[in-house]
Amino acid sequence: MTLIEKILSKHSNLSTVKPDDIIDVIIDTRAARDFGGANVVKNLLDNGLTVNDSSKTVFTFDCNPGGSDQKYAANQHYCRQYARENNIKVYDVDSGIGTHLAIDSGLAWPGSTFVSTDSHANIMGALGSFGQGMGDQDIAAAWAKGFVWFKVPQSVKITFTGKRPANVSAKDIVLYLLGIFGANKLLGTSVEIYGEEAEKLTLDERITISSMATEMGAIIIFFTPNAEIIKHFEKITENTIELIKADDNAVYEQTHEIDISKFFQMVAKPGHPHDDTSVESVKGTKIDSAFLGSCTNGRIDDLRIAAGILKGRKVAPQVVLKVVPATDAIWNQALDEGLVKIFKDAGAMVSNAGCAGCAAGQVGQNGPQEVTISTGNRNFDGKQGKGYVYLASPAVVAASAVAGFITTPDQLPNEPALFGKLGIMKPSAKSEVGTKTEKPSVVQGKVWIIKKDDIDTDMIFHNRYLAITNINEMGQYSFDNLKGYEDFAKKAKAGDIIITAKNFGAGSSRQQAVDCFISLGISCILAESYGAIYERNAINAAFPILTYKPEMLDLLELNDGDTVKIDFLSGEITNLQNNKTAHTNKFYDAQYQIYKNGGLL
């Protein structure tokens, strides 16, 4: 078995598992964040469910430390009250990013299982642990039962050959991999990374690489823990840890050998984490702001690298550098080591620990037309504000903050770039949910053909609306961040069907990206493939989604606005304009059972 198969079999009390098996996985630690936590509690209360084991259950408030938004503050307090009544530990607004707290507090360890409403919970692959981000219904089920259903994915093996160049960081490695595999070539797979240089990677470096599995479309990126990491977690957990690793004869869907000696310093261009290029190709691009932090690069090693460049230097005039450590413990360590003083002396703003700009609840957001270079993991349009975000390593971010433009530490100018005078600034230019009825196995409706790959959850339901918990309010915001479809919610009718392309629902674990379509009365979505978390969220919400092969559209001679009929059980689809038929992939059994039940809960 592969590494993920070993861990899942151990946590499902099965001697062996294989790809496409649907199993119940026992979860060692079950977490909910501040924006998802309120919905988790609501799901439990509305369905008369209780917490299976409070000692394995935690809240982590990392999206909006301080509750600076009224709805976030209300949701956080709602969760605190539930925690008090049910003896659940809360890592409150003074603690930091939940996944990092889990790593540093021993809530996750090599060979363990961990779920959270954080779509980057698969960061646990860095320590050889199975972690998954899931929607609020999944997490509610995990809290109530202690396990969740899961479909075992195919595994992919990547082996690094050659020697890693001295100036190539862990962030450069993962951006290089994104440049090779994009957002969907590893979609839904479990990736294992091997090789001499992989073995040398520190825990912090492994965290950086594993944290971007979601952006790659993968279920998880695994590293087999070395002796040093095993010893580290034995000390934290005060337990003996059994090393779980893939068998020598494990079966992989794909294997790749990649020469790491050819890697170089990279950035991801604004809009897509997989739109990657060399730093050299964008060197000189003027920046307005820089951001150091996030679950990808907020560790102590990241802060040390940036401080080493900033020491004795100043952030360029009118450039803002925002520094956000991943956890409060890392913040205090940076204080003890003098790193905070270096940041402050350089002119940076150092904020309390948390997710920062990624969650729109803390520092890190940018304004319209603002150019930011960031160590974050996402730069989707609108994700970190209204400006343009380049992704890069801590070294490149720190060097660029000093230079005033994108550059590397070895190419710092004698004088920083200054801004020219600005020109005159110019101003920038509800359906109701139907009553609950028996679920039909055949639907028909007008089609919206949206042939775009990688439509992410911020395009579907932007993070500025995440505090909304009433499904009746969600429909009006559907696709309002998808260019060309901002008025979709006003034009769509109940019963309409969406047909889209690859990796629909990439990105966040937010349930609202499914519920907004339920709110509008959309009857079905057809896509060539889905983001792994989105697919689960839709199935769990009893919202019909199907996959199809591209030739289906040609067979149907289908045009935007045609009316089609779809049979979920047979997969037959008919274009009622010309009576031509084709087939989608039909519901699989587990999906149909949840659909008939009206949802997972």
**Can you list the domains of the chain with their CATH numbers?**
3-262 (3.30.499.10), 267-409 (3.30.499.10), 442-596 (3.20.19.10)
Quick: pLDDT tens for 4-48: 999 999 999 999 999 999 999 999 999 999 878 999 999 999 999
**Chain CA centroid to CA 242, Å:** 29
Average pLDDT in the 374-392 region?
Answer: 86
Write down the pLDDT at residue 426. 58
Write down the pLDDT at residue 361. 56
What are the DSSP E strand ranges found in 61-213?
89-91, 113-116, 130-133, 147-151, 155-161, 190-194
Query: How is residue 257 written in tokens?
Result: 């050998």
Write down the pLDDT at residue 422. 61
Write down the pLDDT at residue 51. 97
431 pLDDT tier (thresholds 50, 70, 90): very low
Residue 28 contacts residue 233 (beta carbons within 8 Å): no
Average pLDDT in the 95-110 region?
Answer: 96
Write down the pLDDT at residue 386. 81
Does the structure show a pLDDT above 80 at 534? yes
Query: In the chain, pLDDT over 90 holds for what percent of residues?
Result: 86
**Separation of alpha carbons 498 and 494, rounded Å:** 12
Does the structure show a pLDDT above 70 at 350? yes
Does the structure show a pLDDT above 50 at 57? yes
Write down the pLDDT at residue 356. 82
Does the structure show a pLDDT above 90 at 383? no
Quick: pLDDT tens for 543-561: 999 999 999 999 999 999 9
| Secondary structure (H, E, C), 18-40 | CCCCEEEEECCEEEEEHHHHHHH
C-alpha neighbours within 13 Å on the C-beta side of residue 581: 8
Does the structure show a pLDDT above 90 at 360? no
Write down the pLDDT at residue 430. 41
**Separation of alpha carbons 277 and 514, rounded Å:** 33
Average pLDDT in the 260-286 region?
Answer: 94
Quick: pLDDT tens for 451-485: 999 999 999 999 888 888 899 999 999 999 999 99
**Separation of alpha carbons 1 and 514, rounded Å:** 34
Write down the pLDDT at residue 158. 98
363 pLDDT tier (thresholds 50, 70, 90): confident
Write down the pLDDT at residue 423. 57
Write down the pLDDT at residue 463. 85
92 pLDDT tier (thresholds 50, 70, 90): very high
Does the structure show a pLDDT above 50 at 432? no
Query: In the chain, pLDDT over 70 holds for what percent of residues?
Result: 96
Write down the pLDDT at residue 55. 97
| Selected residue with higher pLDDT from 414 and 63 | 414
Average pLDDT in the 528-541 region?
Answer: 96
Residue 59 contacts residue 32 (beta carbons within 8 Å): yes
Does the structure show a pLDDT above 80 at 421? no
Tokens 């559907």 correspond to what residue?
Answer: 478
For 244-263, give one letter per residue: b (16+ CB within 10 A) or e: bbbeeebebeeebebebeeb
Provide the Cα torsion 363, 364, 370, 374; round to 10°. 160
Task: Point out the least confidently predicted range of 215-219, 344-348, 361-365, 537-541.
Answer: 361-365
For 528-563, give one letter per residue: b (16+ CB within 10 A) or e: bbbbbbbbbbbbbbbbbbbbbeeebbeebebeeebe
Question: What's the chain's average pLDDT?
Answer: 93
**Separation of alpha carbons 94 and 426, rounded Å:** 40
Average pLDDT in the 318-325 region?
Answer: 95
